[in-house]
């Protein structure tokens, strides 16, 4: 299992980097191979295809999530490369949790609407509760281990989606069903509709 922590911070050895080291250590102790990479808005993020888990983390400066991470999502190819990736988010800031949840976290999440976010954490500087990093990593691992492949897939199909399925040649039906149900599971969809099938197709060129 491979995880990469993509982060931004203006402060070398600051709060964000300290958190990344703790998160990385905790993930490594749980069996992950971990790398970290500092964001540049115009960087090429195709390398994240090699990672099973992507953690995005940044501080807030002057009411805005640090610009190189945000810029990577808005101007760069990070958003595209994150498609279908399992991700987790954290922010460090001076504001309280409710303020950060309302004003800062959405600045990232608005660009990640199609992703399954395993866990998210706001870490308020000078007020880290004991075990905050450990509980964040525990949340990530709990969700990560709910792998669709380890479950009996049981999503409900709408009549229209079933009609489409039945219209396919029988030799592709098995692959199609598995791909569609895994996608629905990953995205947290309870039902497979024509829209879900179209989204699955757009996301991975199939089913």
Closest-CA residue to 108 (of 1, 4, 3, 7): 7
Least Cβ distance, residue 59 to ligand FMN (angstroms):
3
Burial of 198 (0-12, 13-18, 19+ CB in 10 A): exposed
Least Cβ distance, residue 56 to ligand FMN (angstroms):
14
Least Cβ distance, residue 124 to ligand FMN (angstroms):
8
Burial of 117 (0-12, 13-18, 19+ CB in 10 A): middle
Least Cβ distance, residue 38 to ligand FMN (angstroms):
11
Taking the least distance from each CB to ligand FMN, the nearer of 98 and 205 is: 98
Residue in the shown chain whose Cβ atom is closest to ligand FMN = 14
Percent composition of the chain: helix, strand, coil (DSSP 3-state, to 5): 45, 20, 30
CA distances for 40 relative to 72, 75, 206, angstroms: 6, 10, 31
Taking the least distance from each CB to ligand FMN, the nearer of 25 and 172 is: 25
Taking the least distance from each CB to ligand FMN, the nearer of 62 and 150 is: 62
Residues that bind ligand FMN in the complex, under the rule CB under 6 A:
9-11, 14-16, 59-63, 92-95, 125
Taking the least distance from each CB to ligand FMN, the nearer of 125 and 179 is: 125
């Amino acid at each position: 299992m491979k995880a990469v922590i993509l982060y931004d911070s203006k402060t070398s050895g600051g709060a964000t980097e300290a958190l990344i080291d703790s998160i990385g250590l905790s993930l490594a102790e749980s069996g992950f191979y971990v790398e970290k990479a500092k964001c540049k808005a115009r960087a090429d993020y195709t390398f994240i295809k090699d990672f099973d888990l992507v953690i995005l983390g940044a501080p807030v400066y002057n009411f805005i999530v640090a610009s190189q991470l945000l810029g990577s999502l808005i101007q760069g190819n990070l958003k595209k490369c994150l498609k279908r990736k399992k991700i987790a988010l954290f922010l460090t800031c001076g504001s309280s949790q409710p303020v950060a949840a309302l004003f800062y976290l959405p600045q990232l999440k608005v660009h990640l609407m199609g992703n399954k976010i395993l866990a998210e954490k706001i870490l308020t500087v000078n007020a880290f509760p004991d075990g905050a990093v450990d509980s964040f990593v525990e949340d990530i691992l709990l969700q990560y281990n709910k792998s669709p492949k380890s479950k009996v897939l049981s999503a409900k199909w709408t009549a229209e989606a079933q009609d489409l399925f039945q219209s396919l040649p029988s030799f592709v039906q098995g692959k199609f069903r598995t791909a569609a149900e895994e996608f629905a599971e990953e995205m947290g969809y309870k039902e497979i509709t024509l829209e879900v099938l179209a989204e699955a197709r757009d996301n991975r060129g199939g089913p």
